[in-house]
Amino acid sequence: MSTYALMMLGGFFVLLMLGIPVAVSLAVSGFVFGWLGFGETLFSLLPARFYGIVGGYQWMAIPLFVFMGVMLEKSRLADDLLDVMGHLAGGLKGGMAIGIVLFGVLMGATTGIVGATIITLGLLTLPTLIRRGYDKSVACGVICASGTLGQIIPPSLILILLSDIMQLSVGTLFAAAVGPGLLLALVYIAYLVVMGWLRPATMPAIPQAERDAVSRRELWTRFFKVLVPPVMLVVAVLGSIVGGVAAPTEAASMGAVGAVLVTLFSGRFNMKVLKDTALETSKITAVMMLILMTAQVFALAFRGLHGEDLIAAMFDQLPGGVNTAIWFLMAIIFVLGFFVEWIEISYIAVPLFLPILTSMGVDPVWLAMLITVNLQSSFLTPPFGWALFYLKGVAPPEVNIKDIYKGVVPFIGLQALTLILVFLFPQIALWLPKAIGW
């Protein structure tokens, strides 16, 4: 049985490397080796698992949060906000890059969609940054890193999936993610400030004449006009969840309606925007649900083949106790991030190691935050970092893939630094859930 479990893992990764879609790879490897291991019993157990997915009330939050994010992205509100933030921060060397990080925080809290954020930033800012004298790799790195902040800043799809995998409250994870998410953004900003001081030629400030052409009063007026509506929406959605006023699904419904109202009041709502938003939401949701269902096949077969016993035996061989076990999991997640997406990592690595770590007394909320911070790197690590592909798809011809790879390396290091800080100081993640009584 254990041999089949190892063969199933190997077969899954072989299929991935051959370019087979993840959902198909999960289903094929699970069905084949599950049937070899314990025959037709596998097929009799699956219907209940599938029903648990499609009938799960909590999954309704996914299409609603996706709808909210896509609607705000399609409405082009981000364009105005980014232009204003760039001018407000432009007097500082590296100021536009810092403005992009702050924009990434706001976009992460409103959309949470990495592809939409990076494409928006790439189209709007990359040509401008290069024209203003920014080093190409620096510009690419800050855009890719800022665009991935939405995967830790709530409402994040990673947190929603981890809440199901780890059987934790979505509200608790949302509250716990606030500290690590803001810390990661601050680490990025601190790095850019230092680099602007050490290497000012790579991140020049906006010329004084250009800044003087627009009055500060006009800039601040535009800033609050484009900032207040999405921020109020985020506060309403997250505040209702964290405060216990509404369940995540109810808050997501409010967010979807709120996104429509924000777009309507901005004068950018029309039937084309609504149609495009609905189609994009359907595509994203369908892909996620298919992976969720095929992951059940894989997980059920792996457990039936006593794969968990192999994992437990492997942990028993590790020296150093709990801390070594945690960092072993972090290393596996990091390495997997070079080849597969965060959804697959979440449904492959986390269920395998979670029972062992919880039996060792590891706080599951803290562990979830370590996993979430670590998963950020999967969007940036070559060769299959999706943030790199998104940016390359909209980058000017003079920007090559080498510039993008070179630019993200420092930010991968900054993510590792943030991971270490959250590990050394668990209260970064745990203070807010405890403060509000979760």
Q: How far is CA 197 from CA 93, 110, 392, 406, in A?
A: 7, 32, 28, 20
Q: How far is CA 407 from CA 125, 251, 334, 341, 380, in A?
A: 15, 37, 18, 20, 10
Q: What is the pLDDT of residues 316-344, one digit of tens each?
A: 666 767 888 888 889 888 887 776 667 77
Position 40 in a domain: no
User: Which residues are CB-contacts of 72 (< 8 A; sequence separation ≥ 6)?
Assistant: 78, 110, 111, 230, 259, 262, 263
Mean pLDDT, the chain, rounded, equals 79
Q: Could you tell me the end-to-end alpha-carbon distance of the chain, in angstroms, rounded to an integer? A: 41
Q: What is the pLDDT of residues 68-77, one digit of tens each?
A: 777 876 666 6
Q: Is residue 384 very low, low, confident or very high in pLDDT (cuts 50, 70, 90)?
A: low
Q: What is the pLDDT of residues 142-193, one digit of tens each?
A: 999 988 888 888 877 788 888 888 888 888 898 899 999 999 999 999 999 9
pLDDT at 80: 64
Q: What is the pLDDT of residues 117-130, one digit of tens each?
A: 777 677 767 877 88
Mean pLDDT (whole number) for 398-414:
89
**Does the pLDDT of residue 309 top 80, yes or no?**
no
pLDDT at 58: 63
Q: What is the pLDDT of residues 5-35, one digit of tens each?
A: 778 878 877 886 676 776 788 788 888 888 8
pLDDT at 321: 74
Q: Is residue 283 very low, low, confident or very high in pLDDT (cuts 50, 70, 90)?
A: confident
Residues 339 and 19: beta-carbon distance below 8 Å: no
Instruction: Output the six-digit token pair for 224.
Output: 């609050």
**Does the pLDDT of residue 116 top 70, yes or no?**
no
Mean pLDDT (whole number) for 217-226:
74
| Secondary structure of 100-154 as H, E, C letters | HHHHHHHHHHHCCCHHHHHHHHHHHHHHHHHHCCCCHHHHHHHHHHHHHHHHCCC
Position 32 in a domain: no
User: Which residues are CB-contacts of 222 (< 8 A; sequence separation ≥ 6)?
Assistant: 80, 84
Distance of CA 221 to the CA centre of its chain: 31
Q: Is residue 36 very low, low, confident or very high in pLDDT (cuts 50, 70, 90)?
A: confident
Q: Which residue range is the domain that position 116 belongs to?
A: 57-435
Peptide bond into 383 cis (omega under 30): yes
Q: Which residues of 305-329 are buried (b: 16+ CB within 10 A; e: fewer)?
A: bebbebbeeebeeeeeeeeebbbbb
Position 47 in a domain: no
Most confident of 67-76, 101-110, 261-270, 335-344: 261-270
pLDDT at 368: 93
Share of the chain above pLDDT 70, in %: 79
Share of the chain above pLDDT 90, in %: 13
Dihedral, 334, 335, 337, 339 alpha carbons, nearest 10? 180
Residue 10's identity, in one-letter code, is: G
**Does the pLDDT of residue 413 top 90, yes or no?**
yes
**Does the pLDDT of residue 433 top 80, yes or no?**
yes
Position 30 in a domain: no
Which is nearest to 120 in space by CA: 94, 91, 93, 150? 150
Which is nearest to 150 in space by CA: 372, 406, 389, 341? 372
Number of domains in the chain: 1
Which is nearest to 205 in space by CA: 196, 215, 214, 213? 196
Residues 194 and 138: beta-carbon distance below 8 Å: no
**Does the pLDDT of residue 90 top 60, yes or no?**
no
pLDDT at 360: 84
Q: Is residue 301 very low, low, confident or very high in pLDDT (cuts 50, 70, 90)?
A: confident
Position 407 in a domain: yes
Position 5 in a domain: no
Residues 33 and 9: beta-carbon distance below 8 Å: no
Q: What is the pLDDT of residues 134-147, one digit of tens each?
A: 889 999 999 999 88
Position 49 in a domain: no
Position 172 in a domain: yes
